[in-house]
Structure 1
Amino acid sequence: MKLNSAHKANNLSFLENSGQMGMLIREMDWDNSSLGPIENWPVSLRTTLAIILHSSYPMFLFWGDELICFYNDAYRPSLGKEGKHPAIGKRGKEVWPEIWDFIGPLIKEVVTTAKPVSYSDQLVPFYRNGRMEDIYWTFCYSAAFDDNGNVNGVVVTCTETTETVITKRELQESERRLRTMIAQAPVSIAIFQGKDHVTELANSLALQMWGRREDEVLGQPILEAMPELKSQGIKELLDDVYNTGKTFSTSEFPVQIMRKGNLNMAYLNFSFEPLLDLSGNIEGIMALGIEVTDQVISRKGIEESEKKFRLLADSLPQFVWTANPEGNLNYFNQSVFEFSGLSQDQLINKGWLQMVHPGDRKNNFRAWEDSIATGKDFLLEHRFRRHDGEYRWQLSRAKPQYNDEGIIQMWVGSSTDIQEQKVFLDELEKQVQERTAELLELYESLKKSEQRYHLMVEEVQDYAILYLNPEGIVVNWNTGAEKIKGYRADEIIGKNFSNFYTEDDRKSGLPKRLLGLAAKKGKALQEGWRVRKDGTLFWASVVITAVHNEINEVIGYSKVTHDLTVKKESDDALKEKQAELELKNIELQKMNKELQSFAYISSHDLQEPLRKIQTFASRIIEKDHDTLSENGKYLFKRMQLSAERMQSLIDDLLAYSRTHNLEGDFERINLNLIIEQVKQDLSEELLQKNAIIQADNTCMVNIIPFQFKQLFYNLISNSLKFAKPDEPVHITIKNEYVPGNLLEGEYFQENTKYCHITFSDNGIGFEQKYSEKIFELFQRLYGKTEYPGTGIGLAIIKRIVENHHGVITAQGELGKGATFHIYLPVAD
């Protein structure tokens, strides 16, 4: 027994310290297997297993005719968490059925030939971790010999390379995408390697910009492929980037490039960026660029055209200005500065509205915004402040300028002084309908005068602009000149401008003297008769301005002609009517006062008969109710409702008339006190509507308490009136102090603090397009039967806010309530 035990122990010594797989082999029952008891295994098998089990490299053994499977601890992870393990002691074909078509022939070849078979990064998918996986292997199948020296198995030495293969493929795909991206990039890209800047890569845009083929530059130092660059500083730039590692970039760099045998000037935006190897050392340079030659040439042409435009504009007595597509003014001609006394910085920084009369600013701003939004021509009469403080009426117009795609690029506008022509025409138009037959006759006369005035203004707007060479020959001719003088451009260009002067002026040498005066003093002004193509005469104002080059030599003249014939005739007619108009104006002012008194007294006197109608109707209903027919009761009810609506209308008219003037003294008061009084007055209505009013700590403001009580009364009443029938009324009143410089709009003063009151409700709301209409007298968005009222309440609110020098705006959304914003100036 001792000898057998010792022998058995000696036979199993190859499994000592052989890891988990050695322990698994030791514990398995081999008696009923084809190999028999483990202690009877041939020496060659035990030796081979000893080598495999004690190796730290993944190894697998197929042994015997049944190709029994063995493997070591290093191979165990390759079988996965779920799958083929434990496979020791099983037949190879049973363990690897899914890949036996691949490995079976390999094993047979090794057993037959005793020659090893190896593969690198070979895809051998098999089942593990609960599924089939694509797995890449580097492996070697070699022969395993039995005790007699015959091949009796195959030893597999392997390592899994899946991650390496995937990583390598990703790198190859990344490089492919990079090269594709470079080739398709919208800018030129090139890579130069080494200190000699050898061209390694250049995309199609780079080759196009260089004027070279790919075979002319690739593998060549760029300065040898393009020798014209050597003397233009490119070598120094490349050397500096390569030696210092600092990126260089520039815009509109001028460089001469040899293209199709000729040196062409090009302008380039480009950058040189260093390329680093894995050690952080510079190995090359990447060049990125784009040619902007066309843009630079176009911009220079535009700058030259703009210079001529400004010169011509500065010679005009009219105001000329331009704006960007958003409506921001960015240029004014010299006449604007001379008239206003303001500098360009003052006009740009503080805005052009500072020139406009405060009473005209709202309409001015609204009309300008409408033109910007719609692209329609801007046309407006308004008053501008002159440098001496006098306001003078101007007629301003602007037209949008479109590009080829129909997009607005800029606005060009002009303003013309029409002070003498204005003279009370607007006031006469408003009052003439209320006058007697005598005034109607005067109205017709004034209407004809107004028509003549507008025709005159249109003529004043048309001006002829010519450009003359130093000898007075016409070089350029605009459409205004064609309209005024009757010549087409092809009929006059190339001829002397003296053709437009009368025979007497030409004989006296007037045209030549005007050119001499312009050359000497820079500008020549003259008025007189001129001759059209058809021989007729017209009275014209002429401004001739000398055009100088950079060394102050006269290279030509700009000539601007205004046809003043109609204006001269209109001026004469207006002078004759001036005295009559002044008398009529006094009479109209007296009539206006009488009309105001009549409206106020009538509103009061109408209430007495209205009260009697209401009283008598109520008595008849009470005393004769039983004797009246149903139709009679219905008619009396209609009469009472009509009387009530008329009473509301008279009350609102009286309230509105009282807001024309400031009633009562201003008091510094907390608005919460006013709001609480209104809540008490409307307590029953609030309770009926289940209304909730939330008001935070309000501002301290200087107001007329009576008027602001009426303001909040009307606002809260409106919210109750236009409430949703199935939802409690919720009103929120918030406020905050806001500096004027943070508020947008010409109504706000930068150095003034404002109390911003926000009044919101959850009623039926309104469409935003009616946000201004609702403040007008008698304006209603809903029917009288559905929502009663006179359409005066919000007009009263607006008048009260304006009495306090404030601003009110409205926001609404149908079905989602309304919000009113009130801004009141607050004195420190």
Structure 2
Amino acid sequence: METSNLFEAAQSSDGRYRLLVEAITDYAIYMLDREGRVTSWNPGARRFKGYEADEIIGRHFSTFYTDAERSQNVPAQALEEAERTGRFEREGWRVRKDGTQFWAHVVIDAIRSPEGELVGFAKITRDLTERRAAEAKLRESEEQFRLLVQSVTDYAIYMLDVKGHVASWNTGAQRIKGYTPEEIIGRHFSNFYTEADRAAGLPRTGLETATRIGRWENEGQRVRKDGTAFWAHVVIDAIRDDDGKLVGFAKVTRDITERREAEAALQVAQATMIRSQKLEAIGQLTGGVAHDFNNLLQVISGNLQLLSKDIAGNARAEMRVQSALGGVARGSKLASQLLAFARRQPLEPKVVNVGRLIKGMDEMLRHALGGEIEVETVVAGGLWNSLIDPDQLENAVLNLAINARDAMNGEGRLTIEASNAFLDDEYVRQHEELSAGQYVMIAVTDTGTGIPPDILERVYEPFFTTKAEDKGTGLGLAMVYGFLKQSGGHVKIYTEVGAGTTVKLYFPREVASEDTLVGSPSGEIKGGEETVLVVEDDDEVRGVAVSMLTELGYRVVKARDAASALVVVDSGIPIDLIFTDVMMPGVLRSPDLARKAKERLPDVAVLFTSGYTQNAIVHGGRLDPGVELLAKPYTREALARKIRHVFANQAQRRGAQGSQHLASEKTFKNATVLLVEDDDLIRLTTTEMLSDIGCTVKEASTAQEALKILDEQPVDILLTDVGLPGVSGLQLARDIHGRRPGLRLILATGDSGVQSEAARLGAILLVKPYTPQSLRQGLEHAMKKRR
């Protein structure tokens, strides 16, 4: 069929051919008028060349050519040849909107009226950049890949109705398969398949797969009208109307008989390369990050914590040390995110009802997202329990919520749903490492921009992000993915560009009872003698708060804004608690005041108060996790009870730390620890930590030195780094396990992947970078353990 007849056929069949063209994204298909100006533009053209329809329609198609070809009048020659012969076909460099070039295969067909008058041109372009590069490489290395340079220029493009009957037919289809439109339209497309494929149900599988997931791609033998077979690459795309109803299928077939062997070799090479890259990335994440980065953090953290004893009483130096330790904590968090992607983070799973957990996150989410995001939480009745780390689940939901906020540009609707789900055999067959059964599902849905299909498969890659350089690390979804996989769960993304995205998290059902939630006890209403800094810009409100606190017995200092309050903190006045309004005038915000105050006074408590509703307190700002909030208006009794609650929490934390330190000194007096660490700085700081808590320390830098010491001297505890040179610390522990049953074992590492081996050996796992407190805890557990 001639091109003009093709378009007439499309018009006479209620625009089915238009739907076909609009559904194709692998080929740029558009129209030119007689002078070469663009008159139509399909999604494939937009994807290849970068122009929106309203940017390019009306402009001359020579825009896509290089300067050299325009100077040689190549665009005009192409139209001239198409007009003279009916068709122009070439390969060459073309230019995208952003100026980058790509190697394209181009076909231009002249379109004529029934009277033979030229009315324009039909143009089909395909991006062959990757194929051309592969062809050049293979041509240089092996003659067998010479076929890759032979361009495949004929495409069969046609439509099927919902049952698979041919509804339209183009000249490419006629040339490849031999049928005229009159012979094939109305017949079932299974006529093109071999008898074996029809018996195996391959045509039905193609339509069912395209219906279910939108697309089916296949290579195999097909049959021409004359009975000869050829190898074909086939793509079937489901076509739906504006209401989502299936109206048919778009089908593109190309003859790859001569190229099949070369293409197969190329695909094997590409698959090998991709697997190699992924393995390399995972290796860098686990080995490199867990060992080198955590070792570096351990050096910094250990020295800073030891230095803090030497500068005790020097407020300025203490502030700087605390600030530096904060940097170590952020570095440790980064390492944790990377290890989460690699499924190597230490989890502390508990039996939880995720519905209650999500409802408990409501205030945190509103703080993080801001007042312009409407948040709705929907929890189904009868929700099952799940065995999961609640802290990591909160982090995952928060990461998804923040991603959603950014996708909505800070304004829109976020919906979080929790319900029971069942994943059947058909679903799990499409996903590795997933078992059929009962799951608890959490869905996070936004009304944002959606995720383009070309990057959807990359969203879980570490450091991949579509945000600006200062807007995110690219680790949020990577962490979520790793956490779900490590928890035996599953994550699935459903997205539509311009409409929004839903991320569904699936966790296996747990039949055990939910862990008991312990509420905060209410104490007697009373005051105290501590010093409270009241920060409030409203004079009357500030006066009332000062009066209440004074009557309760507190010493009170006051400030009218956050900047003034920080001056008070810097003055050296001893302050036990900062009681501050959330919303105040000035450059310095209350959350920043809290952060800066804690940098200067690590033991200071902070209590926020606000008269705004919970979802509008900070208008897009964020308060620290664990924030204490007293809503306005408040009574004297409520104020008194809340302040004592905050002080009780502070005292409990300090008391636990002090008693633990005294118990540790008594427990470890006269205990001999063999420390095996190849890093000199870590060995130095860890030795000092061990000495401070009463241990006698023997040092070794290799497994060989450690074995010699163990043969010659009595040792109570072996504390060894896992990543030793030569013989690893893990192997050292294995060798000692059978020979010295009374020796306690501690394995120090940043990689929790050795946890199962540590349990088999009866060893304690000490995660780097460790603090004096976590080191003491590890020693206590080791001393109590019996192997």
Q: Is the TM-score greater than 0.5?
A: no
* TM-score (structure 2 length as normaliser): 0.28
Higher RCO (Cα < 8 Å, 6 or more apart): 2
Q: Which structure: larger Rg?
A: 1
